[in-house]
Amino acid sequence: MSGLIQPDEIARIDRIVSKYANFVITTHVNPDGDGLGSEVAFAEFLRQRKKTFSIINNSPVPENYRFLDPNAQMEVFNKERHIEVLTSADVLFILDISDWGRLRKLGELVHDLSLKTVCIDHHPVKEPFADVDIIYPEACSTGELIYELLKGLGARFTQRICEAIYTAILTDTGSFRFTNTNPAAHRIVAELLESGINPQKIYSNVYENQSVERVKLMARVLSELRIEYDGRLAWMKITQQMLKETGATLKDTEGLADFPRSIAGVEVALLFMELEDGKVKISFRSKGNVVINGLAQEFSGGGHAFAAGASTDGPIEAVIPVVLKRAGALFEKPKH
């Protein structure tokens, strides 16, 4: 199976893993199935190579992904507790993220350390990010790249690695329904299924394990869903008050931005989320006909053509009309 990662890149990672002994693995704040699955798969490879490693993230593992980390090896970053771990580490592998801002406090600390950094990601970037960048936006997920990398490095594909990569691809392709679902995704998944993993069990863990608080939040948010631009755009908001009323937390919001795309006629979906610090996180989603990462860039964000994000200063009630007005340009007919 030909892939995206080049032989010289695989050789470079092999040299890094061979040369060094102590590694740290991390992913973005509010991690998803792609970030977490990629971390688990790569950590298992390091275990096979008898390396010392720690998985340190800015956020805890969401309940529906706990099955990936049954022994609670994934730690939540704490500067006082982890400064020694990061100082003594040789290499930091940054997976599914090429934006220092989304590494929060851990990213700030890494900047002050002489730690070699390696990034493996599928999000578009404008400039070099880490000491070693393996970034391919053509990939359906970081899980796809981890699969290619581990194949090239001669990893033994245990059930744990197979489950982790399957979870990464399953979730980042929206159960194989998003526009990033490429032929490689299906070829890789076919091989993973042949290894004997249970796709029904993984699906149940991820999608049929929602908290009551999340369902209450979903109901609250959907009750205020709004449609604009002749039914072509749908938007929702999540305020701190809504979280408080439903008992939900930020981890319960994962995936909510995708829901409005299921509405007939809707081409673009926006989710505005008020954060504790007053900033507003905006999620941009498209069915595949309207490119939305340009709109995200207008608000200091970015991402894929049909799935992007941004963060801007609040208050949320002031941000919403500004973004909605700019979104109108997405539906204007080009002038000839």
**String of b and e for 47-77 (b: at least 16 CB within 10 Å)?**
eebebebbbbbbbbbbebbebbbeeeebbeb
pLDDT digit string (tens) for 70-127? Answer: 999 999 999 999 999 999 999 999 999 998 988 999 999 998 898 999 999 999 988 9
pLDDT digit string (tens) for 273-297? Answer: 999 999 999 999 999 999 999 999 9
pLDDT digit string (tens) for 195-206? Answer: 999 999 999 999
Amino acid at 56: I
**DSSP letter, residue 62:** P
pLDDT digit string (tens) for 237-269? Answer: 999 999 999 999 988 898 899 999 999 999 999
Residue that has been written with the tokens 């704040």 in this structure: 29
Q: Which of 193, 232, 249, 265 is nearest to 60 (CA)?
A: 249
Q: Is the CB of residue 300 less than 8 Å from the CB of residue 310?
A: yes
Domains of the chain and any CATH numbers: 7-207 (3.90.1640.10), 212-331 (3.10.310.30)
Question: The pTM is what?
Answer: 0.88
The tokens describing 183, both together, are: 């032929």
Is residue 1 predicted with pLDDT exceeding 70? Answer: no
Phi, psi of 106 (to 5 degrees): -65, -40
